[in-house]
Amino acid sequence: RKQIYGFPNMLNQLKYLSLVLKYLTENLSIFGPYSIDVMASCAFSLDVDSINNPSSPIIDHASKLFRFPVPVLILQGASLLFPFLYVDVKQLRLNPGDVLQNMINSQTANKASKGKQKKGNDSYSHKPNHKRTLVHSHQSSLCISPVPTGLTDHEILSQAIMFMFAGYETSTTTLVFLAYNLATNPEVMKRLQEEIDSTFPDKGAVRYEALMQMEYLDCVVNESLRLYPPAARLDRIAKETVKICGITIQKDMVVMIPVYALQRDPELWPEPEEFRPDRFSKQNKQSIKPYAYMPFGVGPRNCLGMRFAQVMVKLALVDILQNYSFSVCEETEIPLEMDYKGFVGPLNPIKLKLETR
Ligand code: HEM
């Protein structure tokens, strides 16, 4: 994760190039703020409330975390074809600390101005009783040594930034596609709403234990991630030379795993283009072939935030569907035109109708 700052190899650079371009071009207007709020709150203990404060400077600062000088990006991308263009950006100071400093400053300024206006109501500030936040620790350059992790401030900050980076857009696109799949499959949405209503009667508060035991909800989320896995492919570097099915993979060779294609392969998934959550029902999921379904990756380097993401996505979905239903409208694009750069996402913003129940 330290490598984040230094672009240690070309593969990482390419990942960054595509992620950053995608970030800059995408319109994540509804679910984006929710994900920003969750990630900023959990990684940095920042109470951003970007849904109600769309012009918050924190959003601007946070987005800068993922922006790098354009000429550097172009050179890094082009160096794949023209290696002489390769720039060792390890030497460049891409310092997210400055951005975070701004985030803290605007947070503090906001808190002060809000405090003057409205004493006691602290809706846009650090939660007063929180433990020392990661960012504050970084800001004051205190070593977080009481925690016997052996991590430096820099490493801890890198982790927090990585969570923000890895968790924001993936969770957002997951929610976007879930909404689209439900709007285009109203019978699935109806069944899901029945499960929600029976689990949390009278639009009751959503509880973690019950949420995580909702079987149909789990099937719906899994099926949506099958059709639209945010990471279209995974990559690994071979640790040693191996021969698999007659193909020799040399040591150090980069191997790409085409998750998107595998999850829509008709040999693995009958009628793969159809949204059928029952594929993941208790009885059916036993027959899913290993490695046919990998939206969170596999092995020791699979998604670190998988369970966190599942809670975040399920919670948002249940909360919305308790009160609203999604449906298509004239402007809904069916079928969707996909943008295959970077994370899997729609080329154009998805437009749906939201009706109160
Ligand atoms: C639905 C949302 C998400 C999806 C679909 C997703 C998917 C993935 C995938 C495919 C990988 C690569 C795994 C591999 O190579 O085997 C990954 C890595 C990672 N994810 Fe997620 N992710 C999501 C949300 C999150 C969240 C919310 C966080 C943080 C809280 C997070 C943190 C990470 C980290 C730190 C890694 C790198 C793990 C490593 O290299 O050891 N992800 N994620």
Ligand 1 close to Cβ of residue 302 (< 6 A):
yes
- Residue 278: how many other CB atoms lie within 10 Å: 14
167 lines ligand 1 (CB under 6 A): yes
CA 295 to centroid of ligand 1, rounded, Å: 9
The helix (H) or strand (E) run that includes residue 322 is helix 306-323
User: Among residues 169, 174, 170, which one has the least CA distance to residue 63?
Assistant: 169
Query: Is 324 buried (19+), middle (13-18) or exposed (0-12) by CB count in 10 A?
Result: middle
CA dihedral sign, ordered 327, 331, 333, 334? positive
Q: Quote the ligand 1 centre to 19 CA distance (angstroms).
A: 14
Measured between alpha carbons, how far is 269 from 134 in angstroms, rounded to an integer? 44
* 303 known ligand binder: yes
**pLDDT of 210 higher than 90:** yes
In DSSP terms, 103 is beta-bridged to none
Is residue 185 over pLDDT 80? yes
Q: Which residue has the higher pLDDT, 112 or 119?
A: 112
Mean pLDDT over 137-145 rounds to 43
* Cβ of residue 345 lying under 6 Å from some atom of ligand 1: no
The model's pTM: 0.76
Question: Residue 267: pLDDT above 70?
Answer: yes
| Separation CA 118–CA 116 (nearest Å) | 6
296 lines ligand 1 (CB under 6 A): yes
| Level-2 CATH architecture, domain 3-231+263-356 | Orthogonal Bundle (1.10)
Sign of the dihedral defined by the CA atoms of residues 61, 23, 73, 9, in that order? positive
